[in-house]
Amino acid sequence: MYIRTGFEIAIACTAETPLLLALSLHSTYDNRIIGSDRIRIEPEVPMDEYIDSFGSRRTRLVAPVGSLGVWSDCIVEDSGLPDPYDWNANQHEIAELPSETLMYLSASRYCETDELVEQAWALFGETPPGWARVQAICNWVHNHLTFGYHFGRPTKTAVEAMRERTGVCRDFAHLSIALCRAMNIPARYASGYLGDIGAPPSGAGDFSAWFEAYLGDRWYTFDARHNTPRIGRVLMVRGHDAADVAMITSFGSYDLELFRVWTDEIHGLDTDRDRLRLLEVRPNAPALTLAPIERV
């Protein structure tokens, strides 16, 4: 399956503003991209790219005074299969976990595992370890949190989502991660493109957040927000939690003037040359509604 993914963002700054972006496809996609995954900006200013310690490709630049357009557009080859699952994937003893997974047992900024241990064991201590336990956590989070964009805020944590019973996809992920870690299952944050391929039409494409848990000798994708295997998840970044991988980190303020995302299956094109030609014109994805942030 071929998926066209891209975004277009326009911001305006009143002073030169350093930006740190996490808007590229993950470094593991390299050989599955048609076209270029490069970040493009207008007007052109110098950009630096580096790969952070989680393998996420990051971009650094200084936004000039005035408007800045940032966009990217390419085609990704994808298996076309739903998120893999394995009901028999076992949970590892702490002593057997690969050492590089251990850091995903610790509390992090938005996943205060240390505050949730007691609640986690009360809720999930009786569930069978392994896949069923992570699924039980996803079910609980999916069923107890009410989704709503107005329930998001940049500093909202897992403990707060637990108490408030509300959140956006990021909060569903953070709470699930914090609960997994409390049950001694390594869990990490992931984010990327997720459209409505194989699911009921849901309007504009968008970025989404989910998480990965380490079971049966590998990392598996889980998504407490949708709580069903999805097709066409295109990974951009990973980290302990959203603190590591904010899409735009700005060192100074800016106005967001446009924000639109597309992530669509490509049908009826047989050659890469045809696919490349498609990229000559940016698609007409609708702008995501930019709720005016209230100053309260």
Residues near a second copy, by CB under 8 A: 18, 20, 48, 50, 52-53, 58, 60-62, 93-95, 99-100, 102-103, 105-109, 112, 114-115, 119, 122-123, 144, 146, 148, 150-151, 154-155, 162-166, 184, 243-244, 246, 249, 251, 295-296
Nearer to a second copy, 46 or 268 (CB): 46
Tell me if residue 5 falls in helix, strand or coil: strand
Residue 157 tokens, joined: 């944590």
Torsion 108-111-115-118 (CA) sign: negative
* Least distance from a second copy to the Cβ atom of residue 214, Å: 15
Nearer to a second copy, 67 or 250 (CB): 250
* Least distance from a second copy to the Cβ atom of residue 54, Å: 9
* Least distance from a second copy to the Cβ atom of residue 227, Å: 18
* Least distance from a second copy to the Cβ atom of residue 80, Å: 34
Any idea of the CA torsion for 87, 88, 89, 94, to the nearest 10 degrees?
Answer: 120
Nearer to a second copy, 162 or 197 (CB): 162
* Least distance from a second copy to the Cβ atom of residue 108, Å: 5
Nearer to a second copy, 32 or 109 (CB): 109
> Which letter, b or e, does each residue of 90-115 get, where b requires 16 or more Cβ atoms within 10 Å of its Cβ?
ebbeeeebeeeeeebbebbebbbbee
Nearer to a second copy, 81 or 103 (CB): 103
Beta bridge mates, 205: none
Measured CA to CA, the distance from residue 86 to residue 215 in angstroms comes to: 9
- From the number of C-beta atoms within 10 Å of its C-beta (0-12, 13-18, 19+), residue 31 rates as exposed
